[in-house]
Each structure stands twice: as structure tokens, then as C-alpha cells.
Amino acid sequence: MTQKLDIAFWNYERTRLLADGSVKIAGADVSFHSARIVPEISEAMIRRRAYDVSELGMTYFLRTFDEEGRSPFLAIPVFPRPRVQARRHLHQ
């Protein structure tokens, strides 16, 4: 059985293979969504629960907690290591 998922994230190099279908999520029929800027994704998720899974900035996530310390969201902390590109210096 296939799970239908709406997933939103910005068009990063590290997510591009998911978005273009090169990398599949087993058992899922996925629709990927993006936006002009990342805060639009966060706002849509917080205000309308627009997606099943989305990128959500830490400050947006922290604002979802109520007085009892509960949030309607479950955070999965993912901090991809930035790619460091080697730079070559040519000596002439």
C-alpha cells in the first residue's frame, strides 16, 4: 500500500534529487512543493497545515508551543553538513 505525502522544502542542491524524482521514497506517492522563499513554506505549514512534512525554521517551530509547552508539530532535527568546496589557488 502506498502512502500519499505532500512534502515542502526549498530548492536546495541537497534536496534536488528528491524533487526531480531521481531519489524515491519507498512506499510513498510523494508530491513535492516549494516556494519563492523559505518563510512562505513555514507560514503555510503553521497557518494552514498545508503539507504532511515540511521544512520549518527553528524560530517558526518554537512559536508553535502553547502555555503547557506543547506543539502540534514533531521536529526531526536535521542539520545537513554544508558542502565545502575546495578552492584552488593558481600561482603565476
Ordered by start, the domain boundaries in the chain are 3-62
pLDDT attached to residue 57: 87
Q: Cα(84)–Cα(13) distance, rounded to whole angstroms?
A: 13
Give Cβ neighbours of residue 7 (< 8 Å, ≥ 6 apart). 18, 30, 31, 32, 33, 51, 52, 53, 54
| pLDDT tens-digit map of 19-59 | 999 999 999 999 999 999 999 999 999 999 999 999 998 89
* Mean of the per-residue pLDDT values of the chain: 88
Q: Are 32 and 4 within 8 A, CB to CB?
A: no
Entry pTM: 0.79
Q: Cα(31)–Cα(79) distance, rounded to whole angstroms?
A: 23
Counting residues of the chain whose pLDDT is more than 70, the rounded percentage is 86
